[in-house]
Amino acid sequence: MLQLQGINAHFGKLHVLHDFSLTIAEGERVGIFGHNGAGKTTLLRACVGDLEECSGSVRYREHAVVSGEVHRNVGFGMGFVPQGHNVFRDLTVAENLEIAGLRHDQAALSEVHAVFPLLLERSQQIASSLSGGQQQMLALGMALMTRPSILLLDEPTIGLAPVIVRDVLRSVTQINRTRGTTLVIVEQNVQATLENVDRAVVIKSGRIIFDGPSSELLAQENLWELF
Ligand SMILES: Nc1ncnc2c1ncn2[C@@H]1O[C@H](COP(=O)(O)OP(=O)(O)OP(=O)(O)O)[C@@H](O)[C@H]1O
Ligand SMILES: [Mg+2]
């Protein structure tokens, strides 16, 4: 279980998260939505302890997440894929996956290849020459190499064509089904994400304005009016 309680996050004078509390159960698939600047990325950074000015408490399973100790915190089983293509551009696909693992782990590598067969086919391709969607799959594969129990994904489909968006989201959902991995997905592709998560959380100016079943939002005529 991931539990945030009374989080207040600031960047200097800017108060970004306001007394923010959220509990996510094991195996849940949660979509986090909201306009640009709402605080979604800041929320994910709070989850892994990557904020300097942050009060309140974050717990993951039996662990207290300590601010400033990201490396230690992700060691509790959190896989964090930040916004943008986070791959080592000059290395091959195989080298990227190798580096991302905590140690050489053939079982983890086989699992990643099962979810993303393309990463096996393209093992020797230089990452920078992969397409945008393929690089995103590699970034996700890298996060999986540490066998996380929870995946925190910041806009995994940004910049991808609609048909690829659904591919990536389906792959992520497959990880949840086969490994029971908890998913927290920040997304602008609201419709496609709602189809792949159980629960939706909508944030406006650092506060939750909706938290409920994704089916409730899917049924809304004009989704963005809610935001
Ligand atoms: N390092 C920083 N220094 C100063 N202000 C920041 C910093 N990071 C974020 N902010 C500000 O905090 C607010 C929330 O930013 P955040 O990145 O969490 O938004 P977001 O919901 O992820 O937006 P987007 O959809 O554009 O990614 C914004 O007003 C942003 O300008
Ligand atoms: Mg963001």
Residue 149 has pLDDT above 80, yes or no: yes
The CATH number of the domain covering residues in 2-219: 3.40.50.300
Burial, 62: exposed, middle or buried (Cβ in 10 Å; 0-12, 13-18, 19+)?
Answer: exposed
C-alpha 14 – ligand 1 centre gap (Å): 10
Strands 182-186 and 150-154 turn out to be: parallel
Q: In what order do the strands lie in the sheet with 199-204?
A: 78-81, 150-154, 182-186, 29-33, 199-204, 207-213
- Mean pLDDT within 186-215: 95
* pTM for this model (two decimals): 0.92
Residue 37 CA, ligand 2 centroid: distance in Å: 7
Calculate the alpha carbon distances from 122 to 49, 73, 126, 160, 182 in Å.
34, 32, 9, 19, 28
DSSP 65-77: PPTT-HHHHHTTT
What is the side-by-side strand order in the sheet with 14-24? 14-24, 2-11, 54-60, 63-64
Confidence at residue 86, expressed as pLDDT on a 0 to 100 scale: 83
Distance of CA 83 from the midpoint of ligand 2 (Å)? 7
Model confidence pLDDT, tens digit, residues 51-93: 999 999 999 999 999 999 998 998 899 999 988 878 999 999 9
Q: Which of 19-33, 123-137, 161-175, 178-192 has the lowest mean pLDDT?
A: 161-175
pLDDT reported for residue 210: 93
Report the 10 Å Cβ neighbour count for 115: 18
Confidence band (pLDDT; 50, 70, 90) for 24? very high
pLDDT value of residue 224:
66
Burial class of residue 150 (count of CB atoms within 10 Å of its CB; 0-12, 13-18, 19+): buried
Residue 121 has pLDDT above 90, yes or no: yes
Nearest CA to ligand 1 atom 11: 37
Label residue 158 by pLDDT band (50, 70, 90).
confident
Pocket of ligand 1 (CB under 6 A): 11, 14, 16, 34, 36-42
**Mean pLDDT score of the chain, rounded to an integer?**
92
Separation of 68 CA from ligand 2 center, angstroms?
19
Tell the residue nearest (CA) to atom 26 of ligand 1: 36
Q: Which atom of ligand 1 is nearest to the CA of 186?
A: 22
Residue ranges near ligand 2 (ion) with Cβ within 5 Å: 40-41
Domain boundaries along the sequence of the chain: 2-219
Kindly state the average pLDDT of the residues 130-136.
89
Q: At what angle do helices 132-144 and 93-100 cross, to 10 degrees?
A: 30
Among protein residues, the one with the nearest Cα to ligand 1's atom 13 is: 37
